[in-house]
């Protein structure tokens, strides 16, 4: 888990949205919220909408401008519903999340969100190396601030917590020839058992092959399976 993600809200107007963002931040396993000049103090409504994520609100960092909020962050993602200022920097939430999940977890990442009525300025977006646009109805593309925080934090959370299948280069994958011999041995044994009927094979061997291919067997596992077949043949 990347514990260094900072969620930054620039000039938020509605305490309720700040509370909803705090809730989303905590739900998705993040801790740090930064507020750049919120227009109103955190009210009862902010705490009500935070629904228990009071610690996120209480510990929110306060800054006078976005540059100060991002000063110690190495990678900043600014989210905007508007057309991209730089198409090369553009990501959707999922690809941004995938990028974040591949970073050194010690890097400090910022996810930046704009004002409810006007979003982020171009100057503010230029402080971010990457931009995130949530794909949606082009005729109605502006999400509620709390919803945008929820959606982007969710994608980052999933990308950070879903284990990717490691490519284990040391694993003793069985060579294909061993597998071919195993499949022949299996076919022979199943025929002897009359489970495989030569006059009606019904794709049995290809179906079983698919199961074994999915299992990505090691050489010793293939030997084990062949040992079982030999034991079965001895019994017959
Ligand atoms: N009219 C504003 C929308 C403000 S909504 C604009 O032009 O961006 C408040 C914030 O929620 C936005 O600044 C942005 O950070 C986020 N947001 C809302 N809809 C979004 C979308 N479709 N893609 C990315 N971020 C979005």
DSSP letter string, 69-119: HTTT-SEEEEE-SSPPS-GGGEE-HHHHHHHHHTS-TTS-EEEEE-BTTTB
β-pairing, 5-10 vs 90-91, is unpaired
Q: Ligand 1 pocket test: which of 143, 146, 147 has the largest number of ligand atoms within 8 Å of its C-beta?
A: 143
pLDDT at 84: 75
Chain segment 186-202, per-residue pLDDT in tens: 999 999 999 999 888 88
Q: Using the structure block, give the residue that is written with the tokens 């989303």.
A: 24
Contact present, 152 and 24 (Cβ < 8 Å):
no
| Centroid of ligand 1 to alpha carbon of 119 (angstroms) | 5
Q: What is the mean pLDDT of each run of 10 residues along the chain (236 residues)?
A: 84 98 98 97 96 98 96 94 82 96 90 97 93 96 98 97 68 79 92 91 84 80 92 93
The bridge status of strand 90-91 relative to strand 75-79 is unpaired
The CATH number corresponding to 176-235 among 3.40.50.2300, 1.10.600.10, 2.70.50.60, 1.10.8.590 equals 1.10.8.590
> Can you give the pLDDT at residue 149?
98
37 and 68 Cβ atoms separated by less than 8 Å: no
- The SS3 call for residue 197 is strand
Residue 56 confidence (pLDDT): 98
Long-range contacts: 135-138, Cβ < 8 Å, 24+?
A: 135/92, 136/81
Residue 78 alpha carbon to ligand 1 centre in Å = 10
Which two three-digit tokens encode residue 155? 């994608």
Q: Alpha carbon of 148 to those of 74, 213, 214: distances in Å?
A: 22, 41, 38
Report residues whose beta carbon is within 6 angstroms of any ligand 1 atom: 79-82, 113-114, 116, 118-120, 132-134, 136, 141-143, 145, 148
> What is the Å distance from ligand 1's center to 105 Cα?
27
Pocket test for ligand 1, best of 85, 92, 119 (most atoms within 8 A of CB): 119
Query: Could you say which architecture CATH assigns to the domain 4-161?
Result: 3-Layer(aba) Sandwich (3.40)
Question: Cα–Cα distance between 194 and 188 in angstroms, integer?
Answer: 10
Residue from 94, 114, 152 to probe ligand 1 pocket by mutation (most atoms less than 8 Å from CB): 114
Q: Please report the pLDDT score of residue 213 as a whole number.
A: 73
Q: 10 Å Cβ neighbour count for 225?
A: 18
| 144-190 per-position pLDDT tens digit | 999 999 999 999 999 999 877 655 656 677 777 888 889 899 999 99
Give the contacts of 43 (CB within 8 A, at least 6 positions apart). 15
Tokens of 108: 């400090």
pLDDT given at position 211 = 83
Domain ranges of the chain: 4-161, 176-235
| Unique residue bearing structure tokens 């079983």 | 208
The 10 Å Cβ neighbour count of residue 202 is 9
């Amino acid at each position: 888990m990347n514990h260094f993600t900072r969620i930054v809200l620039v000039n938020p107007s509605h305490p309720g949205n700040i509370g909803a963002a705090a809730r989303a931040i905590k739900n998705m396993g993040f801790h740090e919220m930064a507020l750049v000049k919120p227009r109103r103090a955190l009210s009862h409504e902010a705490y009500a909408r935070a629904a228990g994520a009071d610690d996120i609100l209480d510990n929110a960092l306060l800054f006078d401008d976005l540059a100060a909020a991002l000063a110690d962050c190495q990678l900043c993602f600014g989210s905007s519903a508007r057309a991209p200022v730089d198409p090369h920097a553009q990501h959707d939430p999922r690809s941004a999340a995938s990028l974040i999940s591949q970073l050194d977890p010690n890097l400090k990442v910022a996810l930046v969100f704009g004002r409810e009525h006007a979003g982020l300025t171009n100057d503010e977006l230029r402080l971010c190396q990457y931009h995130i646009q949530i794909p949606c109805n082009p005729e109605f593309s502006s999400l509620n601030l709390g919803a945008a925080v929820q959606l982007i934090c969710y994608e980052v959370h999933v990308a950070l917590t879903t284990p990717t299948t490691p490519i284990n280069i040391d694993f003793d994958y069985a060579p294909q020839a061993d597998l071919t011999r195993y499949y022949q041995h299996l076919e022979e044994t199943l025929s002897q058992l009359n489970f495989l009927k030569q006059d009606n094979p019904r794709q049995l061997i290809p179906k079983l092959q698919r199961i074994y291919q999915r299992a990505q067997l090691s050489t010793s596992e293939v030997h084990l399976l062949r040992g079982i077949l030999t034991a079965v043949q001895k019994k017959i």
